[in-house]
Amino acid sequence: MTATQWQAIEPIPAQRMNEARRQAHNLLHWMARIADSYLDSEESNTHLQLRWNDETQALRTGEFDAGLSIEGRVGVLELQFCEDGKPVPHTLSFQERTPAHVEAWVLVELLHRDVDREKFSKDLPYTPKDLMLGDSEEHEVETYEGELKALQGWLRNGAAVLTAVRHDISRDAGTDYSGQAIFCCPQTFQLNLEVPLPAGSGAETLRAGLSAGDGLRPEPFFFVATREQALNGNFEPASILSVQRIASEKLAADDVIQFIRDQVGAHRKRLAS
């Protein structure tokens, strides 16, 4: 991993990080609403997965309605429609925008593209956390500019680390995992790489990833867990590497990659027994 792919980021006070994550999480909920409204439902809600786009350093839904998708940028809280993979004009900045304003923008953009607006629903197939509703609360992008940029930086770091882990695991296993996408789960705000497990293991897949933080751990952290553990936030303490620890111990990207590889190996061995 080159130095330009790994960004050193100073830890952020917990209270401010919690609020920045809450606002960014709502960006993901809007993307999930669009995906759920226009993509065919899939087992385990995999149709909601938001793929990491290396070129734009952003998250993107799957394509619907003849080449449409929507891209979200966590660092600045923006949404933008894409056509055939290319972002198009009329970006929505969340600065001083209420959820009601975001909904209105989505509906107008769908109308402009002749997409059936009757299919759009704000309902989600999961119980959303950190939800903002109505016309009374505005997003505060400028207030939390530093925290949002830190979150974006960790997503970028996470994507680079997971790409390297995917390469290493493929090499070690003699199996090509390059088709395993790096994606964000909007329910949990976790950037994930799914690693298939052999038949007969105690789980179907492992998730190696970066969480943006949760109710117990306000700062982002790397983890390895089964899919069920990741969805429930039930992580084993030894399987977590917090960004605070990365900063305090001055760990480099290679250290994080090795931590994840070691944890994948330990989980595989335990689940196979």
Residue 47 backbone zone (phi > 0: left; psi -120 to 50: alpha; other: beta)? alpha
Query: Which helix (H) or strand (E) element contains residue 73?
Result: strand 68-73
Read off the pLDDT of residues 41-86 as tens digits, 9 standing for 90 and up.
Answer: 999 899 999 999 999 999 999 999 989 999 999 999 999 999 999 9
Place of tokens 């940028």: 73
Q: Quick one: pLDDT band at residue 38, thresholds 50, 70, 90?
A: very high
Show the CA angle centred on residue 7, arms to residues 234 and 192, nearest 5°.
30
Distance CA 115, CA 66 (A): 10
Q: What is the pLDDT of residues 156-215, one digit of tens each?
A: 999 999 999 999 988 987 888 888 999 999 999 999 999 888 777 777 889 999 999 998
pLDDT of residue 71: 98
CA dist., res. 185 & res. 28, Å (int): 9
Q: What is the pTM of this model?
A: 0.94
**Percentage of the residues of the chain whose pLDDT score is greater than 90:** 82
- What pLDDT is recorded for position 1? 53
Residue 64: what are its φ and ψ, rounded to 5°?
A: -140, 165
Q: Give the pLDDT score at 136.
A: 86
Average pLDDT for 216-222: 95
Phi, psi values for residue 92, rounded to 5°: -105, 115
For range 232-255, the mean pLDDT: 96
Among 72, 65, 69, smallest CA distance to 23 is for 72
Q: What is the pLDDT of residue 172?
A: 82
Mean pLDDT of the chain: 94
Beta strands 190-196 and 58-60, pairing class = unpaired
pLDDT for 160:
97
Maximum distance among all alpha carbons in the chain? 56
pLDDT beyond 80 at 253 = yes
- Average pLDDT value for residue range 114-130: 95
Averaged over 206-229, what is the pLDDT? 95
If you average pLDDT over residues 98-119, what whole number do you get?
Answer: 97
What does the domain layout of the chain look like in residue ranges? Answer: 11-119, 145-272
**Tokens standing for residue 62:** 């799957």
Distance separating alpha carbons of residues 215 and 199, to the nearest angstrom = 34
The answer, yes or no, to whether residue 4 has pLDDT greater than 50, is: no
